Copies of this chain bind each other. A is one copy, B any other.
Amino acid sequence: MAGPVPPFNPLHVFAVAARLGSFTRASEELGVSQSAVSRQVAVLEGYLGTRLFQRERHGIGLTHEGAALRDEVGPAFDRIVAAAERLRQDSRATPLRLRVYSTIAAKWLLPRLHRFEAAHPGIAVRLSHSVAPVDFRRDPIDLAIQLGEGSWPGMESLRLMPDILQPVCSPRLLEAGPPLRGPDDLQRHRMLVSRYRRDDWRDWLAGIGRLDLLREGMEFTSSVLTYQAAVEGLGVAIGQMRLLDHDIEEGRLVPLFGLPVERPLAYHVIWPADRPPDHKARAFLAWVRAEAAG
């Protein structure tokens, strides 16, 4: 049963080209360039030592050998493709259910999720959010991302990234508004606050030893809104730096003062200890860890 195996990708490309009778149309169906098809067929011909197509005036025609090969491999590939596709569909029917904070979803996970989908086209992801801690017995959830110290009773967890605080504002505000050279200057600016993260300003000010600067701020019902307000130049928000890399890279926000403060809490992926992660969950864990690290 051993022996040399033929190159399967060229064979498949050949099968498609033979079915359509044209390299160009095969390249369209396969979503690659015409050049790629031409080359793959040439590779196969080199491997087999036979011409499979006659290159003719305006087009191609199968040789005798080519026709014989197509009759054999065409149906076989159809079968393989169908079987794989069926399995992939079945698998997508039971998606991986994630629960995350909406801030994480909007600012961190969604912008990179396309990469996960590309790497694992068979795994569908369903996201849900809530501010309240997840209850795995009640909620139909496989994995959750939560902020915490890393130990939840009856749960296992994987530490993703720390929660690092630093004030941020729009570059326009920094240029055009009252100066923002040091924490003292915050007194001349509006402080933007997220309802569910009221302590962030306190924690940061405590971290730099300037609790005296704590004031009431303008409150929003979610961190996403708060950051959006900062982008719009409405004031200075206290930012979770690991979630804002995109906004900072693209110049919508700038971090202020160079005084980051790391909170004792960190983002973790958690799951119930009595339900070990299945294949999909493990794939997501490996991926999300790499994303958080890189």
Contacts of A45 in B (CB 8 A): 279
A65 within 8 A of partner (CB): yes
Are A1 and B19 in touch, CB under 8 angstroms?
A: yes
Point out which of A4, A48, A91, A120 has the most chain B C-beta atoms below 10 A from its C-beta.
A48
Q: A90–B90 Cα gap in the complex (Å)?
A: 42
Please tell me if the beta carbons of A48 and B80 are within 8 angstroms of each other in the complex. Answer: no
Give the Cβ gap from A109 to chain B, nearest Cβ, in Å: 18
Which residue in B19, B47, B85 is a CB contact (below 8 Å) of A88? B47
CB contacts under 8 Å to B, within A1-26, are 1-6, 8-9, 11-12, 19
A29 pairs with B2, CB closer than 8 A: yes
Q: A5 to chain B: which residues have CB within 8 Å?
A: 12, 30, 81
Taking the closest CB of chain B, its distance from the CB of A148, in whole angstroms, is 29
A8-B8, A69-B87, A85-B6 in contact; A49/B92 too (CB < 8 A)? yes
Q: Interface readout for A70-86 with B: 1 if CB under 8 Å, 0 if not? A: 00110011011111110
Q: Are B119 and A11 closer than 8 Å at their CB atoms?
A: no
B72, A122: Cβ atoms closer than 8 Å: no
Q: Within 8 Å CB of A65, what residues of B?
A: 87, 90-91
Which of the listed residues A2, A50, A69, A85 has the most CB atoms from chain B within 10 Å of its own CB? Answer: A50
A294 beta carbon closer than 8 Å to chain B: no
Residues of B within 8 Å of A47, CB to CB, are: 84, 88, 120-122
| Of listed A9, A45, A49, A81, residue having the most chain B CB within 10 A | A49
Contact of A69 among B9, B83, B119, B278 (CB under 8 A): B83
- State whether the Cβ of A110 lies closer than 8 Å to any Cβ in chain B: no
Within the complex, the shortest CB–CB distance from A250 to chain B, in Å, comes to 30
Residue of B nearest to A88 (CB): B48
Residue A252 interfacial (CB < 8 Å) = no
B81 and A48 within 8 A (CB) = no
Instruction: Verify if A46 is at the interface (C-beta below 8 Å from B).
Output: yes
**Do the beta carbons of B87 and A79 come within 8 Å of each other?**
no
Note all chain B residues with C-beta closer than 8 A to A190.
none
Cβ contacts A31-67/B at 8 Å (1 or 0 each): 0000000000000011111110000000000000100
A68 close to chain B: CB less than 8 A: yes
**Does A280 belong to the interface (CB within 8 Å)?**
yes
A213 interfacial contact with B, CB 8 Å:
no
A–B Cβ pairs within 8 angstroms, 13 of them = A1-B29, A6-B84, A47-B84, A47-B120, A49-B123, A68-B87, A69-B83, A69-B87, A72-B80, A73-B79, A73-B80, A76-B77, A76-B83
> Could you list 10 further interchain pairs (A-B, Cβ under 8 angstroms) beyond the known A11-B84, A50-B87, A76-B79?
A1-B19, A1-B29, A2-B29, A4-B121, A5-B81, A6-B85, A46-B283, A48-B91, A50-B91, A77-B80
